[in-house]
Structure formats: C-alpha cells, structure tokens
C-alpha cells in the first residue's frame, strides 16, 4: 500500500507521493543554540531521524536539511550574561547538540545550515518581499504584511480575524497590524548585526527557515517537520513568506510531533520544567532514552519520568538479551535444525508487520510491538534442540533491520574481557563440571560485583555487562 502520513495542512492521513520518484526533500526545524537541548527538544530530532531512516529503508534517497538558529534575542542575552561572544557560545552548543543527539543515535543531517551563514539569501528574500508589497520597512525594522497574504492561517486552521482577536498588541507598535511579524530587526549599538538596505540589523526568526529551505532544497519540498508548538506562528509564517515570494506551495506534507510532558505539563524552557539530554544520559543509557521516545507514536504526547525510562530500560534489555542469545547460538551451535522454511516465513511475517505499521504514519509504537513479537519467536526458536545457521542469521538480520530503522544499536557491548575475568569464567566452568557449586557460585557473585552477569545455557556459559 505504501507510506501514509498525517498532514497537518489537511488534517488527514494521506498517501505519500514525493515530488520526484524515489527522492525525498525534507526539512526539520532545528534548535536555537544557547543551551543544552532538553528531552523535549530531542523528540523531534529523534522522531524525524526515524522517519528519515525509514524512508531510506524503503528505498528513498532522502535529502535532509536541519538548521541551527545561531543568532536571536535569547542568544544575545545569554552571551552577554556570560561575557562570551555570540559566535563562541553558539559554537559550543552546536557541538553539544551533535554530541547529545549523536548519543541518541541521530544521524547528522546532510546539511546543517546556520542563520549567520545565510544572511545574503535572507536579505535578498526580504528585498523581494518588499518589492512585491508583502513587506514594509518601519523605523529600521521590516515586517511581513499578513493581511496581504490571502492564505494566512491555512496551516493552523485559523481565520485571520480570529487570530487578530487573540493577538496581543504591544506598546509602541511599529506594525500596521498586530499579526504582522518581523522579518528584519534593527540592530542595537554594540550588538551583532549585518548591513542591509534598511540599515544594520539581523534577521527575524521565521525568515531563516524560508530562506534556507529555498536555498538548499528549492521552492517546494516534500516534508517540512517540527514540534507541534511551531505550527503557529512559526510554520504559518514560513508558509506566508515563502508562498508570497514563490507563489508555489512550500511543502506538500507538514509533520508535527507531540510534546514530552512532565506531570502532564509541556516540558519547556519557559516553564523551567525541563530535563537536559546532557544530564539524563548520565543516568540512563542513551539508547534507553531513544527507545523510550520511539516506543510511542510520534504525534502522541508522552509523559516523562524516571519510572518510564526504567520501564523502557527493561524492555530494551529483553530485546538485547534475545539478540545476544541468538548471536551466541549462531556462533556456538551446530547447523542441524529442521523446518527452516516454516521459521523463516514466520520471521518474515513479523518483518512485514513492522513495515506495515511504519507505513501507517510511522506508527513506531506498533512497529516496536512487532519487534517484540519477533523477539518472542526468537526465544521460542532458541528453545529448540537443533537450530540452523540460516534461521539464526535471519533472526539476527531482521532484528538488526528493525533496530536500524528505530535507531537503536543492539547488543553493542565491548567484546573484550580482561584475562583475569576470562580465567575466572573458565575456572567456574571447570568447577561446575566437578559439581563444586560453592566455588562456582562464589565466582558468579564476584563477577556480579564487577557488573558482569553470567548465564548458563545448554550451549555454554554466556556473559554480559550490566
């Protein structure tokens, strides 16, 4: 049936049809870099990384662009407070972003454009909007004339009149209309700024994405994604700017992920109830955090708590245990099983279901369920007296496929043990042969203290780190 996805623009599930066969142009709004990212910021990064991986797994060539906002009010303020210049602050947190998201198994985008490296395109974008009458200069600022853009509100499904009622009017308003938003902001003395036809200043927030999308991906792209809180005003404004200029549809599909909540409230920088990825991965394996995120449907809100992560940790361990057991069996046992075809076709059924679930608006919650079903099947197979290399490899391969799409590496534990530990394990094997269980148990306890857990299987003793 192919991939179906929920499009915020139409509020419907639609079949995915790329602009160009076999290719996908995708843009994800990235962070403003003045702090470490919190787990709520991490969600879209993880979730759309998964979307990208899945599209690639399904054979699409994906061009994936995600920006860094590396100049804005908050950055300037924070930099000032720290006595650091803007450039060095943003460099620091861009590096931290890559470290944190890398730990979460996120692949880098093909291009990570920055505002400060896109100024000429932004200025010319604004100039052309002014030329077309969609923007006006006012005391050194430039604003977008929302009233002139007839589709304003189409993404957030709001009428321009209702929006106006809700809009707050600031004192000393330089705008023609409260809904107008700033494209270019007049610089204050001493602040970072660039020259422009309207004097020194810097870009407003929304214009950067419009300019970057156009620069790197073109007038119309396939997928534009971000957090739900960006629907209005950010994405609405992007559409206004871009479509006013190009008179073409900016993106065919708009995808928005749900929030991560704490105590049922949105996690956000302004509420101050956030947990930094930087900190949480000191307590939990980053793969656990990834699994936790991927375990829910991307549009559902998820509540964050240590209990939930602990639960995810146990679930992931179940998957890993089966995976390592299958590999252990593959290495240590003979190639003697029967009914290979029957097992292999069952494995394929689970893989098919995985694909079907991911096709259905990236329903990773159900895809994970399919993976757990495969795990169960694997455990049943491991109970067979005789197994074949073919079936075992098939299990391992399919588990790896699924894990790749979800962005989790399986069973990646250091293969090496130091000599002393190796010796102890061997000594215990001998002790058990001699039925010296007291000694065997003592060794097992000792290794446990060193976080190495032993499991005796019919194919021999297996160890793992915990």
Partner RNA sequence: GGCGGCAUAGCCAAGUGGUAAGGCACGGGUCUGCAAAACCCUUAUCCCCGGUUCGAGUCCGGGUGCCGCCUCCA
Q: Which residues are annotated as a binding site for Zn(2+)?
A: 29, 209, 234, 238
Judged by CB under 7 A, the chain residues 406 through 435 that form the site for RNA are 432
- CB closer to RNA, 18 vs 230: 230
Judged by CB under 7 A, the chain residues 34 through 53 that form the site for RNA are 40-41, 43-44
Q: Which of the stretches 53-61, 151-159, 332-340, 390-398 binds RNA when contact is defined by CB under 7 A?
A: 151-159
- Residue whose structure tokens are 């396939």: 222
Distance (Å, rounded) from C-alpha 203 to C-alpha 177?
Answer: 20
DSSP string computed for 26-54: EEE---B-SS--BHHHHHHHHHHHHHHHH
Distance (Å, rounded) from C-alpha 137 to C-alpha 125?
Answer: 14
The answer to whether residue 385 forms part of the interface with RNA (CB under 7 A) is no
- CB closer to RNA, 168 vs 282: 168
Report helix, strand and coil shares of the chain as percent, to nearest 5. Answer: 50, 15, 35
Half-sphere exposure at residue 75, Cβ-oriented, CA atoms within 13 angstroms? 25
Judged by CB under 7 A, the chain residues 90 through 119 that form the site for RNA are none
- CB closer to RNA, 58 vs 464: 464
Q: Which of the stretches 97-105, 138-146, 257-265, 336-344 binds RNA when contact is defined by CB under 7 A?
A: 257-265
- CB closer to RNA, 382 vs 406: 382
CA nearest to 235, candidates 176, 151, 177: 151
The answer to whether residue 264 forms part of the interface with RNA (CB under 7 A) is yes
- CB closer to RNA, 18 vs 179: 179
Distance (Å, rounded) from C-alpha 272 to C-alpha 412?
Answer: 35
Distance (Å, rounded) from C-alpha 464 to C-alpha 398?
Answer: 22
Binder to RNA among 344, 373, 384, 400 (CB under 7 A)?
373
| In the complex, least distance from residue 267 CB atom to RNA, rounded to whole angstroms | 4
**Which letter does DSSP use for residue 35 in this model?**
S
Binder to RNA among 67, 363, 387, 388 (CB under 7 A)?
363
Distance (Å, rounded) from C-alpha 431 to C-alpha 442?
Answer: 11
Distance (Å, rounded) from C-alpha 17 to C-alpha 5?
Answer: 10
Q: How far is CA 412 from CA 322, 363, 416, 464, 465, in A?
A: 13, 26, 12, 11, 10
| In the complex, least distance from residue 98 CB atom to RNA, rounded to whole angstroms | 15
Determine the 3-state secondary structure of 177 from DSSP: coil
Beta-bridged to residue 5, according to DSSP, are 14
Q: Which of the stretches 49-57, 102-110, 126-134, 361-369 binds RNA when contact is defined by CB under 7 A?
A: 361-369
Q: Which of the stretches 80-88, 186-194, 358-366, 389-397 binds RNA when contact is defined by CB under 7 A?
A: 358-366
| # of chain residues touching RNA (CB under 7 A) | 84
- CB closer to RNA, 18 vs 236: 236
Judged by CB under 7 A, the chain residues 175 through 234 that form the site for RNA are 181, 205, 226-234
DSSP string computed for 208-241: HHHHHHHHHT-SSEEEEEEEGGGIIIIIHHHHHH
Binder to RNA among 93, 259, 323, 395 (CB under 7 A)?
259
Judged by CB under 7 A, the chain residues 287 through 316 that form the site for RNA are 295-297, 300-303, 307-308, 310-312, 314-315
């Amino acid at each position: 049936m192919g991939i179906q996805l929920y499009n915020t623009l139409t509020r419907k599930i639609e079949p995915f049809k790329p602009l160009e066969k076999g290719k996908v142009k995708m843009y994800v709004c990235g962070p403003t870099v003045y702090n470490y990212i919190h787990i709520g910021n991490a969600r879209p990064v993880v979730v759309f990384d998964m979307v990208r991986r899945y599209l690639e797994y399904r054979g699409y060539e994906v061009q994936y662009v995600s920006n860094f906002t590396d100049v804005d009010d908050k950055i300037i303020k924070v930099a000032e407070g720290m006595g650091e210049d803007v450039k060095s602050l943003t460099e620091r947190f861009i590096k931290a972003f890559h470290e944190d998201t890398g730990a979460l198994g996120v692949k880098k985008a093909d291009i990570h454009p920055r505002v400060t490296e896109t100024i000429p395109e932004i200025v010319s974008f604004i100039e052309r909007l002014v030329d077309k009458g969609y923007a006006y200069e006012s005391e050194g600022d430039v604003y977008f004339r929302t009233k002139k853009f007839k589709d304003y509100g189409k993404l957030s499904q709001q009428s321009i009149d209702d929006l106006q009622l809700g809009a707050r009017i600031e004192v000393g308003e330089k705008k023609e209309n409260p809904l107008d938003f700033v494209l270019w902001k007049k610089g204050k003395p001493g602040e970072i700024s660039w020259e422009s036809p309207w004097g020194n200043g810097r870009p407003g927030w929304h214009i950067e994405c419009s300019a970057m999308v156009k620069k790197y991906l073109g007038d119309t792209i396939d997928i534009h994604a971000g957090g739900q809180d960006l629907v209005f005003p950010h994405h609405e404004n992007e559409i206004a700017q871009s479509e006013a200029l190009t008179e073409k549809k900016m993106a065919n599909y708009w995808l928005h992920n749900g929030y991560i909540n704490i105590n049922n409230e949105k996690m956000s920088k302004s509420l101050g109830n956030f947990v930094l990825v930087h900190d949480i991965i000191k307590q939990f394996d980053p793969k656990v955090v990834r699994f936790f995120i991927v375990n829910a449907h991307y549009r559902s809100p998820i509540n964050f708590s240590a209990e939930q992560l602990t639960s995810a940790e146990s679930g992931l361990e179940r998957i890993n245990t089966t995976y390592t057991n299958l590999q252990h069996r593959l290495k240590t046992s003979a190639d003697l099983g029967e009914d290979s075809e029957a097992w292999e076709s069952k494995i394929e059924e689970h893989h098919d279901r995985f694909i079907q679930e991911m096709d259905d608006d990236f329903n990773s919650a159900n895809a994970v369920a399919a993976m757990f079903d495969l795990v169960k099947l694997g455990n049943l197979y491991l109970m067979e007296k005789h197994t074949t290399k073919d079936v075992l490899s098939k299990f391992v391969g399919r588990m790896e496929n699924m894990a790749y799409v979800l962005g989790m590496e399986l069973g990646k534990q250091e293969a090496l043990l130091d000599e002393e530990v190796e010796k102890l394990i061997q000594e215990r094997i001998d002790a058990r042969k001699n039925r010296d269980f007291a000694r065997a148990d003592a060794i097992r306890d000792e290794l446990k203290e060193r976080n190495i857990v032993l499991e005796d299987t019919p194919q021999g003793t297996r160890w793992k780190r915990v």
